[in-house]
Each structure stands twice: as structure tokens, then as C-alpha cells.
Structure 1
Amino acid sequence: MNLRWGLLAAGTIAAEFAAGVEESKHGTLAAVAARSAGRAAEFAARFDIPRCYGSYEDLLADPGVDAVYVSTPHPMHAEWAIRAAEAGKHVLCEKPLTVTAGEAEKVIDAAKRNDVFLMEAFMYRLHPQTRRLAELVSCGAIGEIRAVDVTFSYASGDAEVARLADPALGGGGILDVGCYCTSLARLVSQCATGQDVVEPEEVTGLARLDPATGVDEYAMGLLRLPGDIIAQLSCGFRLTQDDHIRIYGTGGQLSVPRPAWVHALRKPGTSHIVLTPEGGEPEVIEVEATQGLFAREADHVATHIADRQAPELTWAETLANMRTLDRWREAVGYGR
């Protein structure tokens, strides 16, 4: 199916997705909307998009739009994903789907009621590296999984800090990048135990909270997952750390020095997984991505439109992740 995409917001991530749609096999750019008509027009000219709107409502009323990509600030995701569903548009919404699990349930209910596709845009889950990593865990390449260590943390620039430090805009490192860490740790547990969806039995954590706003600047979480797997998560937008994935099993370990969410891996190319058997030498496994990650994401939506959900990112998967993020933020005292 060829999808005619409407972009709801015209920011940096929308530009990356627009470039991905241009490279996709089953998508075209039909329209873009922004809060400013001038900004929408500039964006449209940049990507040769035929129609531009100065309001989100006008885009949702466009009969030439099949699917909407929502990339507004986090607190606006729920409202506009619901309104898009009510307008009969299929929805791809940036991560996190919403700010809380309760809001996510309302978005999913809207998708059900209006019989439209809905997916949270965790594009890293579609990368060949992530799929290969999942296969290695599932097949017992390092024995029984015992621990997971995931880090996604950076020092943002001034422009991003304005959003990330504002609780009214869904700020904080846990929602911004900790959601990736949570998703990956849960994926490992799912592959290790053979379950479709898992949630941690225990969630604890600590964070450095901005004394003025209460937003988590950098945080660590500790999860006890099914399979008696312990996961250590580290994230932040005020502290640069080495992004990595490390998975420890009874027969060795898997290491990903550059996870699929890093910017460089959004384009086609080679990435690596290092498998080190217990008492053996490291083996570097090369993983080739022949398509850009946003193009892959757009095509994945088109492929699964009739299913209304994507197999890697089901609604149950999204809700499990959102509930875990709620528990992590509560554990660190977010908003107190």
C-alpha cells in the first residue's frame, strides 16, 4: 500500500522523517502542518510537499492524507493522536507515545474505536541490529540471561534544554531517552523468557532533579525483570555518557558499542555486535542496514496498515513500556 503522509509539526525530527519518506518504497509526502503558516510553507518548500497548513486541524481535514506522523512536544501527543484517529487517519506517533500510561490507554482506545493503525515511533526496534541482537538472546548464544546494562545519555545544547528542562513540555531524561533503555531491557527479557510482553517486577531509581523544576536531568533505574534478570539503566540530557548495551549470560556476554538509536545508524551502513563467550575470544558480528531507519519505519507502517498494529510495537508493548516509565519517574521523585 502506498501511504500519503501528513506531517503534524515541522521540527527537526519531522525533517528526518520527511527525508525517510522520500527514500521509502511505499510512501509519499502529501502535506505538512505547523503552528505558523510561514514555517509550514518553508518546510513544504524544503521537501517539495504539495500542501502546507498553518493549523493541525486543516491537515486532519485533508482527504488526500492517509496517515499522520505526530512529532509535537510530548504533552501534545495524546490530543493530536486522538484527533487524528477520530479524523480517520492512521497514526505514527513519536516516542514516548504519551506522557503517562493513562494517556496512552486513551490514544489506543481512540485507534480501536476508529479502526485505524497506531504505532509508537521507536524506530530502533526495526533496525537489523536490534533484530539480530534479539535473535542471539532468543537462541541462547550466551546461555541464560542474568543482567542487562543500558545507557543513553548526552549533554544537550541550549535550544534543546529549553524543552527538556520544562515539565510543562514533558521534560526530563527518562521520557526523552530513558524510554529507549527501558524498551531494550524489556525486549531482552521477552526474548530470554519467550514472552510476548513483559513488565518489571520491581522498579527503583535515583536521579539528579533540577531544583527549580523537578525535572530529571540524569537518572539511573534498576529493574527486576521476568527470568530473574536485573537491568541497570542510565539516561540523561545534562550528562554525556558512553551509550552502550551490555547483556550478560551464563555463557558469555553481548556488547553493542553503538546502539541502533545513535544518529549515525539512522542511515544505511554497518553496525556491530560483539559476542564474547565465557573464557573465549570476542567475535565481532557485522550487521548491514541497506535502508535508512526512517524510510524503514515508514515502509513498516505501510506493510502493517491492515493489521492496525505492528508486530514489534504492539499496543500492549507500548502500554507495558509506558507503565514502566511511570514507575521509574515515581521512584526518582519526579515532580515532587
Structure 2
Amino acid sequence: MTDLRWGLLAAGSIAADFAAGVERSKHGTLEAVAARSADRAREFATRFDIPKAYGAYEDLLADPDVDAVYIATPHPMHAQWAIRAAEAGKHVLCEKPLTVTAAEAEKVIDAARRHDVFLMEAFMYRLHPQTRRLVELISCGAIGEVRAVDVSFSFDTGANDAPRLADPALGGGGILDVGCYCTSLARLVSQAATGTEVVEPTTVTGMARLTDRGVDEFAMGLLRLPGDIIAQLSCGYRLTQDDHIRVYGTTGQLHVPQPAWLPQMRRATSSQIVLTPSGGEPEVIEIEATQSVFAREADHVAAHVDDRQVPELTWAETIANMRTLDRWRAAVGYGG
């Protein structure tokens, strides 16, 4: 396993969560942070005892002591800075979604390939023991043949509390921000059920409540996936819903009441999967996470940096999810 010196590109709340994770990781250290203002970078560096603070992203990429870059900018800036980081010879962990469109994601992956650097989209939930146990249960036939999936991730920021999420120029909307978890999970269920490495839906439909700027406040999607599995997805940033995962099979169902992507699941904590056989009593399966999800993510990058990809989130997996998001946004009339 390679020890990595991290540079954080942006200094917002998600960067703070990742910085705290690196502090608790076994194979990562915080080397530098860059923000759009030097003062903001210095404040962040002081908070996490980071040696170097830069007021320009270019300066961080030029630092020879930075091995890997964590990109935590708004969505539309991901492609530009992931490509710039690859060109600078830095390994890249980029927040989800990797880019705004699949076409942009292809360009980022091409840059990583050409410059021979590691690249991973930061879907940290895919590394959580809860997710791995869910996949095991589906793969071993614990609920028979999977027929349907129901996934929800939705919250209400309030009318004036989400300028980024409401702005189409910043990749706003629930589908890109949290719906990406729903498409990722639904596809993962199909992959586990069919024994296929990467799947894409054959059909994508949906509806949304759009703002006057064409941004989805909340949306629902309906996918037909390989294995003849139907997935119902619900997401949003202006509607509180019951966040959950439900997988229905021919001999039972699985319920995850607190999916691993929720904010309260970021620390090392326990969670549950409820297995209910058809006509039987529910069985609560306890899942214990001994490491915070961001610390786990940093160590997972270190473990696979020489492979350039991780098995849970290959570049093909990222492209498949981005294409699904493109189709969902088109189906609801995003931007129209």
C-alpha cells in the first residue's frame, strides 16, 4: 500500500469531511489545500493543521510534494481541474458526479489514461461494509430473483439556502447532486443480481418539478435494468422524503433504512439491513463500520493507486452511471 500526500482542491464542507477522514486514515497525510481566496485556504489549513495553503488551484497542482488531489469544487469545474491534475501527474479522487455529462467524463478518463494517473469518482458509499453486505445478500439469492428496486435520497434545503443547487450554471438540481446515488445503487443491484460487471438501463423515464430556470427541485425516475429489474428512484433538494433502499425478490425483500451515503453514516458507526422472507419474520442484520467512510476512501485509493482504478468504481462504471444521469435529466426536461 502506497502512502499518499493529499492536496485538497477547494475548501468547502465536503472537503472538510474528507480532510477529517484523511487525518484518520492509515496511509494518507494532508499536504496542501487550495481555495479561490488565500484567506479561505489559510483558515482551512489552520483548522486541519495542513502545512501549505494556496490561493490558486494552479499553485497546488505545481507542488511537487502533492501526490494525489481531491477535487471538491462545484460540479461544472470537475472536468477542468481533473484534467489539469492529470496533466500535472497527480492522482485524482473527484467528488461525484465525476462531471456534468458523460461526454465530459470521457475526456477526464482519457486524460487519466494518457498521463497514467489514478482516477476515481468519489462514491464513498460503494466502499462501505453495508453496501458490500447488500451485494452479497443479493448475489447469494437471499431474496430469490430480484424483481424491483426502490431508492430514495431527498431533502429540503429551504427556499433560500441552496444557491448552488438552484443554479443551472453550477450543475444544480437533485438528479446530479443526490440522484446519482440512486442510479448508482439501482445499477449495482442489477449487477449483483445478474453477475454482470457493468450494466446500463434499457429504458429511462421520469418526471420532475422544475424551477423557472429549468432545474429539478425533486424528481422521480423509472428504469428497466438487465435481469428485467424495474427500479423506482426519487431524489430532490426541496422535498423531504424517507431516504431508503428496498430490494424486492421472488422469495423476500431487503430494506436499508439508513443508506451508507447519508451524512450521519460518514462516521464509524453501525447500521442495519432488514431481510424479510416472504411470509416470514424480519431478520435484522447488523453492520459495523470500524472506520469512517472518508478514511476508508483515502486508504482504498492508497491500496489501488498503482492499479489506476479501483474494482468497485472502474472507469466503465463511472461512464455507465453518467450516461444514465444524462438520460434521466433529458427525460424530465432539465434545462427546458
**Bin for the TM-score computed over the shorter chain:** over 0.9
Kindly provide the amino acid, as one letter, of the partner of residue 138 in structure 1.
Answer: S
Cα drift, residue 216 of structure 1? 0.3
Q: Which runs of 4+ in 1 moved over 2 A?
A: 157-160
- Indicate whether 1:169 and 2:170 are aligned: yes
Determine the C-alpha separation between the residues in 2 that align with 1:264 and 1:55: 32
Partner of 1:53: 54
Normalised by the size of structure 1, how large is the TM-score?
0.99
CA RMSD of aligned residues (A): 0.7
Ranges in structure 1 where 5+ consecutive residues have no aligned partner: none
Task: Give CA deviations for 1:141-171 in whole Å, capped at 9, x if unaligned.
Answer: 0000000000000001567510000000000
Identify the residue that residue 131 of structure 2 maps to in structure 1.
130
Partner of 2:273: 273
**Whole-angstrom distance in 1 between the partners of 2:334 and 2:59:** 36
Report how far residue 43 of structure 1 moved.
0.3
Once the two structures are TM-superposed, the CA of residue 200 in structure 1 deviates from its matched residue by 0.1
SS of 1:163's partner is: coil
Partner-residue secondary structure (3-state), 2:214: coil
CA–CA separation in structure 2 for the residues paired with 1:160 and 1:17: 23
* Length-normalised TM-score, structure 2: 0.99
Q: C-alpha displacement at 1:34, in angstroms? A: 0.2
Partner Cα separation in structure 1 for residue 24 and residue 154 of structure 2: 29
Matched, 1:11 2:1: no
- Distance (whole Å) between structure 2 residues aligned to residue 247 and residue 241 of structure 1: 18
Counterpart residue number, 1:186: 187
2:143 aligned partner: 142
Q: Which runs of 5+ in 2 are unaligned?
A: none
Amino acid at match of 1:107: V
SS at match of 1:275: strand
1:207 aligns with 2:208: yes
Whether contact under 8 Å (2:158, 2:238) holds in the other structure is no
Tell me which residue corresponds to 2:68.
67
Deviations 1:249-294 (A, max 9, x none): 0000000011001111111111000000011000000000000000
Q: Distance in 2 between the 1:54 and 1:318 partners? A: 31
Give, in whole Å, the separation in 1 of the partners of 2:7 and 2:310.
19
CA-to-aligned-CA distance 1:295-325 (integer Å, 9 cap, x gap): 0000000000010001100000000000000
Q: 2:266, 2:29 → 1: CA distance?
A: 19
Q: Percent identity?
A: 80
Provide the residue aligned with 2:44 in structure 1: 43
Aligned equivalents of 2:109, 2:161: Cα separation in 1: 29
